Amino acid sequence: MATLKDISKHLGLSVTQVSRAMNNHSDVSKATRDRVQAAAKELGYAVNMSARSLVTGRSGLVSLIRPGGLSGPADITYLETISGLSNEFFKRGMQFVLHMVPIGEDALPIYQKAAASGSFDGFILTDLTPDDPRVALLTEMGVPFVAHGRSATHARHSYFDIDNFDVARQHVKHLAKLGHKRIALLNGPQNYAYSKYRLDGYLAALGEMGLAYDPDLVVSTLMTEGHGMVLTARLFEDGPARPTALICGNILLAKGAYKAFEAMDMRIPYDVSVVAHDDVIHDIRGSAFYPSLTVTKSPFSESWTNLADILCLEIQGKTTQKSQRLADVEFIARASSGPVKTKQ
């Protein structure tokens, strides 16, 4: 493995100048820069990251520690996350270190150790909870990190998120304008921050539109097709209090809901309106539903490059200010939502 010294000997230059040439510094002539880079290629030079890290104090490693192991096929979205992030950091010349903590083990001490080891330049946090202890820990330790989603209690951290408050709000307002008064919400798991924001948005919009809040119309669940089906069936049991519209946390829940409504002989959108949020990760497209599904849409996949950008900024530490980005959500009205049925 060739070193800078090898190149410097081979060319009769100082190590300093070779280093500066390789890193495109200003005070090296174009001629020598070219000579150096040619020699580097010829000798098969590759920078020794350990040596560089030792002097720069940066390892080039970012880490994603995933608590809670796997929870079955629902975790396919997680593979998407890992895939996207690993790629973005690769593009930026950084190594993406993954650690999936087995289920049942407490992840916080692992974060603590990893952060204290100084081996990592930064961390990516996913699956934020409303009051996430990892945010508190890393903030206190002064370790760079970026969160996919927002912690509610520690507002002053870098994150990338979509405006989940607005997602639910748009859904409610759309349905309320169509005359719906009893709107059910099939929300994501309640320990996640985004579910909380959606619930808040739902409640706020109900208030805005002058609608009453009925806790029986809101349910939190793992977002799978199966759960969508059975919980929809439960929410829409026949009776005087039966809702006339349903908001689904994602496309899979909506798919389950469609099945439930079919089984119950309720026609969309005549008997019931359905809207959902589409994060464009599952192969199913809202437009391919029958009837086609009204959605708020914002591609999950736009997160990775943003998260990587933000973390790199954070690591460079040029600015003390935290980067907080909210992605746009697009509202697409389609055939699954319509005017509320007038009493017959």
What is the binding site for DNA (CB under 7 A)? 1, 3-5, 12-17, 19-20, 22-23, 27-32, 45, 47-48, 51-52, 54-56
C-beta closer to DNA: residue 28 or 184: 28
> Is the Cα torsion angle 279, 281, 287, 291 positive or negative in sign?
negative
Site residues for a second copy, 199-258, by CB under 8 A, read: none
> Cα(175)–Cα(172) distance, rounded to whole angstroms?
5
Q: Report residue 246: phi and psi, to 5°.
A: -135, 130
The correct pick among 97, 152, 219, 335 for binding a second copy (CB under 8 A) is: 97
**Least gap, CB of 59 to a second copy (angstroms):** 6
**Structure token pair of residue 260:** 């439930």
C-beta closer to a second copy: residue 38 or 79: 79
Contacts of 34 (CB under 8 A, 6+ apart): none
Nearest-CA neighbor of 208 among 180, 172, 165, 167? 172
**Structure token pair of residue 216:** 């029986």
Stretch that binds a second copy, among 93-101, 175-183, 185-193, 247-255 (CB under 8 A): 93-101
C-beta closer to a second copy: residue 82 or 233: 82
**Least gap, CB of 66 to DNA (angstroms):** 28
**Least gap, CB of 9 to DNA (angstroms):** 11
Using alpha carbons, list the distances in angstroms from residue 6 to 15, 22, 32, 55, 302: 9, 13, 15, 20, 44
**Least gap, CB of 45 to DNA (angstroms):** 7
Residues for the chain: how many in total? 344
C-beta closer to a second copy: residue 24 or 50: 50
First to last CA, the chain: 83
> Cα(316)–Cα(164) distance, rounded to whole angstroms?
29
**3-state secondary structure at position 219:** strand
Using rule CB under 8 A, residue 80 touches a second copy: yes
Using rule CB under 8 A, residue 133 touches a second copy: no
C-beta closer to DNA: residue 18 or 172: 18
Query: Which residues contribute to the site for a second copy (CB under 8 A)?
Result: 1, 44, 46-51, 53-54, 59, 61, 69-70, 72-73, 75-76, 78-80, 82-83, 86-87, 90, 95-102, 116-119, 283
